[in-house]
Structure 1
Amino acid sequence: MMKIDSEKLTIPIYLNTKIVFDMLATIEDGFSEIKNVQISSEVGKETAVSADIGTGNVFAWLNFGASANRKNNNQQSSVITEQRTHTTVSLFQKFRSILEENKLIKGDSDTIVEGDFVELQGTLKTNPLIDFLTNMQELMSLATVFDEKGGNKSKARKMMENQKLNSQIEALINGLRVDGKMDIICKTESKNVVVNTDANYFLNKSMSEITDGNYKILGKVTKICLENEEGISLLRNTAFSKLKIDKMKEFQELFNSAELKPFFGNENVMSVIEGPAIMVIPIAIFI
């Protein structure tokens, strides 16, 4: 019976195939031609040989080495041809195995520096700033729908009906989702991880799978923030990178208003992920 390593039977919900192909091509000094494996059985010997078949299938990839073997038998001469085709997931597992064999992957408890490959496990959550702004936008829409006619409106209600503030929130949300790029947050046992994802590499191009899920992340570290250092801004790649949302007077007044307190509870506006934290370009998110 074939021995199966359960660690290789992973299900990626996010896989950056471009990085996987580039890394494998770099390791192999360029892609080789895909080959058939032909097994020729003759009286007294069995020989494995290979034959080129071209490179038409982008999802196929050649073995890392071809070898010949011989053994004695009394079978009649025959030729068996096999074509082995890799999928994107099997290529990812091949790449991951190479990194593991060469001890190039660091874990949560290791000393990590920028540029390291890391494999971390933790609970994934969508960008908390987007969640907050989206909830705020929905509340502002409700305030407009149930507009109170006449009477004195509270300061919080007037702010929620303010079109300028509404436009600012819309611009912030769009800035955080530009070109399908969006941060997700992974909480491991020892640190926060800001993961720069691209919607194109999610399963079915949907991020719904990750909500509150516990997954592994394989990626490369781009930034490290220690506990006593400035954290990682969730607005860093937007036109609002210099803003401190949690310090803005408008949001503070809305949060502190008795009228809106039931909607937010003890939630805080979080535009910066405090250290210890690292930023990672993900190659795969899997379980």
Structure 2
Amino acid sequence: MREYLHQNQHIIKNNYLNSKTGEFIEVKLSLKKNPLIDSLDGFSSLMKLAVMFDDSTPALKKGGQKSNSNTKVLNQMESLNNQLKDEGSIDLIGSYKSENENFKVVLTLDKSYLGDITLSDIADGEFSVIGKVTRVLQKDSDETVNLLRKTSLSKLNSALLDQMFSAFNNMEESGIKNQEIVTEINPPVIQIIPIAIFT
């Protein structure tokens, strides 16, 4: 299929930001996991360790039940993370840099076609991607790609989201390196549905 598309000049190989919805492109990208999922995965792992090694005696609630704030935070993180992962698709973020163009790419992958749902073989590597363009946001666009668009959190405004995620910005006080919580990808950005990801 790739050979056929190239032979008939149906694949865009440069000036990607001038591509239109429905066109095919082939581009080499540095791929990373959805930064929001990646951050939540990291925090969840650290919180599990904190709960496991927490030697302090939790305060007692009414009725003699023990209360543990670390466990509560861990449950909240995992609930949000599961909501992001339980959709039928998952996002990867690609970066493209050349002398003429510099932009991000949001790839929406159907989970049923993934051999490894953790994306460990793909994330943090450089790959060639063939895909179909679904949206192009130029540098001067006032729109963004919302990484929460497939969840109920997409209904919340940015101020409320900032308030929700503000707790993660002070993790360094607890000895955990701060990570920026990214919920939107700013333009220039291209959204594509990938057909093939290969080296």
Tell me which interval the TM-score lies in, with the shorter structure as reference length. Answer: 0.7 to 0.9
Q: Larger Rg: 1 or 2?
A: 1
Report the secondary structure of 2:43's partner residue. helix
Structure 1 residues 94-134: Cα deviation after superposition (integer angstroms, max 9, x where no partner): x1122112211112424211111111111111111111111
Could you say which residue in structure 1 is the equivalent of 2:26?
Answer: 119
Kindly report which structure 2 residues correspond to 1:115-264, keeping only aligned pairs within 5 A, or say none.
115-145=22-52, 146-149=54-57, 161=70, 163=72, 165-189=73-97, 190-203=102-115, 207-228=119-140, 229-243=142-156, 244=158, 247-260=161-174, 262-264=175-177
Secondary structure of the equivalent of 1:275? coil
Task: Tell me how far apart the structure 2 counterparts of residues 269 and 182 of structure 1 sit (CA, whole Å).
Answer: 17
Higher relative contact order (CA 8 A, sep 6+): 2
**Counterpart residue identity of residue 130, structure 1:** I
Between 1:142-151 and 1:213-222, the stretch displaced more is: 142-151
* Structure 1 letter corresponding to 2:152: A
Instruction: Give a deviation string over 1:143-193, Cα, whole Å, max 9, x none.
Output: 333153389xxxxxx995262x44432232122222552101111112111
- Are the counterparts in 2 of residues 246 and 270 from structure 1 also a CA contact under 8 Å? no
For the residues of structure 2 that align with 1:192 and 1:216, how far apart are their CA atoms?
14
Unaligned runs of 5+ in 1: 1-94, 152-157
Q: How many residues are paired up?
A: 184
Q: Does the aligned pair in 2 maintain the 1:140–1:160 contact within 8 Å?
A: no
Q: How many Å separate the matches in 2 of 1:97 and 1:204? A: 27
Shift in CA distance, 257/217, structure 1 to aligned 2, threshold 3 Å: closer
> In structure 2, the residue corresponding to 1:259 is in which secondary structure?
helix
- On the 8 A contact 2:137/2:188 being kept in 1, the answer is yes
Match of 2:9 in 1: 103
The SS at the match of 1:209 is coil
Q: State the partner residue of 2:196.
A: 284
Is this contact kept in 1: 2:58–2:68, CA < 8 A?
no
Relative to structure 2, which stretch is displaced further, 177-186 or 218-227? 177-186
Partner of 1:73: none
Q: Is the 8 A contact 2:51 2:71 kept in 1?
A: no
Secondary structure in structure 1 of the residue aligned to 2:47: helix
- 1:122 maps to a residue whose letter is L
| CA distance 1:284–1:223, change in 2 (3 Å) | same
1:250-272 deviations in Å (ceiling 9; x for gaps): 43134135423x4234x311011
TM-score, with structure 2 as normaliser: 0.79
**Structure 1, residues 50-102: CA drift from partner, whole Å, max 9, x if none?**
xxxxxxxxxxxxxxxxxxxxxxxxxxxxxxxxxxxxxxxxxxxxx11221122
Q: 1:160 to 1:211 in 2, by over 3 A?
A: farther
Which whole-Å CA distance do the structure 2 matches of 1:191 and 1:254 have between them? 27
Task: Provide Cα deviations, 1:185-207, integer angstroms capped at 9, x if missing partner.
Answer: 11111211110112332346662
Which structure 2 residue ranges, 5 or more long, are not aligned?
A: 60-66
- Hey, what's the Cα distance between the residues in 2 that align with 1:252 and 1:134? 17
Equivalent residue letter for 1:136: F
Q: TM-score, normalised by structure 1?
A: 0.57
